[in-house]
């Protein structure tokens, strides 16, 4: 059996929300960020909390889809209840005798099992999230032959392609209870890595020695009251081979101990052969 993996896609969403718009959104929320206790009881003055632009970064998420199809035969035995007065039953030219009020039929099941799966996964945690809305935005394809802009800060994905493949394929990689397999197809139809822009702001309340980091979505403008700064973890250089760690050496991550071949998308397979 082969697992066919489509050519992997790498996409970047250009920022839609300007730094000034993001900062304005963060400024509107600055009195709320330290919680209800601070807002109601401590009552900070507006000028006591300062907001500074900490970073504009691009965070990764995965979009993957798979299709599995198995056609197979399975020997089966069926018990059919018959009336008490029945002594024999003729089926397809055969005379069968019931036992204990049942007729036992031997047969072969001709089966078809299919499954489609689609996942959106956070590139840092691997958590499934509702990220489909981002696909409505325009995206670009980075040119590997050209250097990325110096101010483009990427967060390296912790959840790698091999783990995404394992998750989108699910648990069933062989026909269930098959005696004879007539057809099997396991395909990862989509394995795309997206980078979306996120602003991170740090609030500083000097009088109370408090700090808090929040985020503003660089595409939708949504405000997130919690967040983090990545700082030195941000990368400005990446290679496809690092991001897409799919190959024969990683198949055991998908099927432990299994002798299942990976068949990569043509463009990726050709690129690996050239090296």
Domain definitions of the chain by residue range: 2-71+119-273
Tokens representing 90 are 């003729």
Instruction: Measure the CA–CA gap between 158 and 166, rounded to whole angstroms.
Output: 15
Number of Cβ atoms within 10 Å of the Cβ of 177: 12
Q: Fill in the DSSP letter of residue 39.
A: I
Instruction: Give the Cα-Cα-Cα angle 219, 241, 62 (nearest 5 degrees).
Output: 35
Q: What is the pLDDT along the chain (275 residues), one digit of tens a residue?
A: 678 888 888 899 999 999 999 988 887 776 666 654 344 445 555 566 677 767 889 999 999 999 999 999 999 999 999 999 999 999 988 899 999 999 999 999 999 999 999 999 999 999 999 999 999 999 998 776 565 666 678 888 888 888 898 899 888 778 878 899 999 998 999 999 999 999 988 887 766 667 788 899 999 999 887 777 777 666 655 566 666 666 545 555 455 545 555 565 543 444 444 44
- pTM above 0.85? no
Q: Fill in the DSSP letter of residue 91.
A: E
Rounded to a whole number, what is the distance in angstroms from the first to the last CA of the chain? 26
CA 115 to chain centre: 16
């Amino acid at each position: 059996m082969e697992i066919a993996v489509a050519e992997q896609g790498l996409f970047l969403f250009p920022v839609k929300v300007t730094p000034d718009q993001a900062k304005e959104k963060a400024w509107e929320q600055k009195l709320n960020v330290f919680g209800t206790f601070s807002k109601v009881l401590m009552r900070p003055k507006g000028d006591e909390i300062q907001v500074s632009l900490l970073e504009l970064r691009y965070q990764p998420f995965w979009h993957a889809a798979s299709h599995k199809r198995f056609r197979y035969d399975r020997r089966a035995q069926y018990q059919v209840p018959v009336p008490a007065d029945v002594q024999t039953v003729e089926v397809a030219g055969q005379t069968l005798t019931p036992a204990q009020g049942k007729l036992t039929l031997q047969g072969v099941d001709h089966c078809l099992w299919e499954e489609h799966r689609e996942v959106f996964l956070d590139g840092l945690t691997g958590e499934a999230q509702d990220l489909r809305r981002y696909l409505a935005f325009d995206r670009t394809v980075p040119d590997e032959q050209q250097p990325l802009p110096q101010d483009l800060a990427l967060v390296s994905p912790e959840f790698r392609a091999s783990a995404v493949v394992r998750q989108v394929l699910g648990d069933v990689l062989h026909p269930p209870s098959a005696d004879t397999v007539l057809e099997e197809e396991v395909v990862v139809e989509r394995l795309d890595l997206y980078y979306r822009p996120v602003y991170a702001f740090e609030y500083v309340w000097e009088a109370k020695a408090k700090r808090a980091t929040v985020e503003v979505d660089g595409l939708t403008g949504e405000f997130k009251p919690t967040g983090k700064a990545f700082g030195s973890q941000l990368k400005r250089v990446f290679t496809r081979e690092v991001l897409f760690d799919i190959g024969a050496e990683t198949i055991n991550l998908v099927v432990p101990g299994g002798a299942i071949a990976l068949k990569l998308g043509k463009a990726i397979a050709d690129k690996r052969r050239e090296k």
